[in-house]
Amino acid sequence: MGHYDLSSKTVLVTGAEVGIGRAIALRALADGANVAIAGINPEMRDETMALVRDAGFADRFVALSANIRDAGQVQKMVDDTVAKFGHLDAAIANAGVMVVRRPFLELTHEEWHNVIAVNLHGTFHTLQAATRVLKAQGLGGDLFVTTSSNAVRPSPMASAYVASKGAIQQMVRALAVELAPDGIRVNSIIPGLTLTPGTTSREGHIERGKRNIPMGEVTMPEELAALVAFALSGEAPHMTGTDLKIDGGRTSA
Amino acid sequence: MSDRLAGKSIVVTGGESGIGRAIVLRCLDEGASVVIAGIDETQMAKTVDACKAAGADERVLGVPTDVTQAADVQTAIDTAVQQFGRLDVAIANAGVFCEKTAFGDWNIKDWERMIAVNLTGVFYVLHAAAKVLIEQGDGGNLMATGSSTAIRPISGHMPYVASKGGVHNMLRGLAVELAPHQIKVNTIVPGMAATTPVTSQQGYVEAGLKSVPMNEIVEPDELAAFVAFVLSDEAPHMTGTLLKVDAGRTSA
């Protein structure tokens, strides 16, 4: 069990069948929230569902299938969440893709469009559909976006990814200002190099990345999930436009 | 309340009032032992009494401290080590604000005083504490209270804005330098917070709120809750982060 009281809150997390999203979902469940996850990977989704069942949280949980590239699927994902739990308190636009390392001149237009379609358009779809519900409810709420320490300190050979994360980082800032009068807080989650299947499956990625981390260690998904639980707890009701950053000092160096 | 901070030994400068006081009460509430290092001895005695009334018993004491005096700061740190057996956390929170004054009207003495308290005072605290933490060899946490004005300056308060800018960048540098010792260094960034130096200035809050998207003042308890999260060890790789609660002020 966690430390924060999230009971009665309904939290939607995209890209939550694995990695940071899964950790956020499990922590929110442990702290008492209703949780809807959405993703595109059925095997990993089943694995997450099994974890949720084993932890005894199945009655407060729903797993949805949604590709965030498609605004229609995103709308359905939000509608299904509200239909299941009756309301929405928080949406965490976490789904995103990484890319193979590629020099700028070798980056194809197809790769560029693919990254932008998921990381930027997909995040936009998610935030817009969730904001519609939060504004209609009229009770405020929380939006989060998983960006990247690359939005602050770019890595080479990843220009499309870096551009997409920089864009959503700035979108968070803009929405924090625009939605403040509605009591909707908007914060970014900034992972440094984090231990997820996405990073560990890439040859040499962890070893290479660690060299730029002053603490010399990777961030664990559970750390970011704990920070999100704090932000959702209502203990800091005026926290908006804040970078929830856990990066072992990467962006400070 | 949980006991997430049980066994931790914490020094908070400027802990007798405002944001420092909120941090002290929250840390005690979660089980920590705290030295309040304050310059206002009357207010400090009141805060110590309030802590004891809330159940802190022997886990709290006040040490008269002027952060512009390195010897005072050393005594506060030494007291924590002697009383609680070790040091885990130092929070350089003591600082002064200033009346709105046009840049050309500032006198040199006021500038020097501001830098002595807000910047050199923070250096003394972190310097003395880091020595202990490095010697103990098992990590720890250093924090200082910065300001949203270090990111988005306000007019008429230049010495203050400059001092806080110095604090922010000093902590960023220390986050990198002390990382190999597993010492985490994070900056508390209040937006316009409900503390006496802010609320006592005629018209300051009304004027300031115009640039705050949520149009509300931040409560010290919110910053204290964020600090408690960081000290809880739930995020052991959080360093060089701005613990910012500013109702959107620096986003606009």
Strands of the sheet containing B33-38, edge to edge, are B60-64, B33-38, B9-13, B89-92, B140-145, B183-190, B242-245
pLDDT per residue as tens digits for the range A9-44: 999 999 999 999 999 999 999 999 999 999 999 999
Of A192, A235, A241, which is closest to B222 when you measure between CB atoms? A235
pLDDT band at B198 (very low <50, low <70, confident <90, very high): confident
Q: Chain A: residue nearest B223 by CA?
A: A236
Tell whether the model's pLDDT for residue B124 goes beyond 50: yes
Q: Do B213 and A181 touch (CB under 8 A)?
A: yes
Q: Do A248 and B179 touch (CB under 8 A)?
A: yes
Q: Which residue carries 């220009």 as its tokens?
A: A159
Q: Are A221 and A22 in contact (CB under 8 A)?
A: yes
Residues A10-191+220-246: name the CATH superfamily.
Answer: NAD(P)-binding Rossmann-like Domain (3.40.50.720)
A189 chain-B contacts, CB cut-off 8 A: none
Tell whether the model's pLDDT for residue B105 goes beyond 90: yes
pLDDT band at A202 (very low <50, low <70, confident <90, very high): confident
Query: Would you state the pLDDT for residue A23?
Result: 98
Q: Are B22 and B93 in contact (CB under 8 A)?
A: no
Least Cα distance to B51 among B35, B73, B75 occurs for B35
Query: Would you state the pLDDT for residue A6?
Result: 98
A180 chain-B contacts, CB cut-off 8 A: 213-215, 247-248
Of B180, B216, B244, which is closest to A242 when you measure between CB atoms? B244
- The residue ranking higher by pLDDT, B229 or B194, is B229
Tell whether the model's pLDDT for residue B199 goes beyond 90: no
Query: Would you state the pLDDT for residue B201?
Result: 86
The interface pTM score, or ipTM, of the predicted complex is 0.92
Q: What amino acid positions of B are annotated as catalytic residues?
A: 160
**Average pLDDT of chain B?**
96
For testing contact with chain A, the best of B5, B210, B238, B246 (most A CBs within 10 A) = B238
- Ranges of each domain in chain A: 10-191+220-246
What would be the CATH architecture of the domain defined by B9-245?
3-Layer(aba) Sandwich (3.40)
Q: Do A176 and B225 touch (CB under 8 A)?
A: no
Could you tell me if A242 lies within 8 Å of chain B, comparing CB atoms?
yes
Query: Would you state the pLDDT for residue A1?
Result: 46
Instruction: Write out the two tokens for B27.
Output: 């840390």
Tell whether the model's pLDDT for residue B237 goes beyond 70: yes
Query: Would you state the pLDDT for residue A2?
Result: 61
- Reply yes or no on whether A4 is catalytic: no
Q: How many CB pairs under 8 A join A and B?
A: 129
- CA angle A1–A10–A94, rounded 5-degree value: 85
pLDDT per residue as tens digits for the range B67-81: 999 999 999 999 999
Q: Is the dihedral of CA A27, A28, A33, A39 positive or negative?
A: negative
Query: Would you state the pLDDT for residue B1?
Result: 63
> Could you give the percent of chain B with pLDDT greater than 70?
100
Query: Would you state the pLDDT for residue B197?
Result: 86
**Average pLDDT of chain A?**
96
Query: Would you state the pLDDT for residue B80?
Result: 98
pLDDT per residue as tens digits for the range A94-150: 999 988 889 999 999 999 999 999 999 999 999 999 999 999 999 999 999 999 999
How large is the C-alpha radius of gyration of chain A? 17
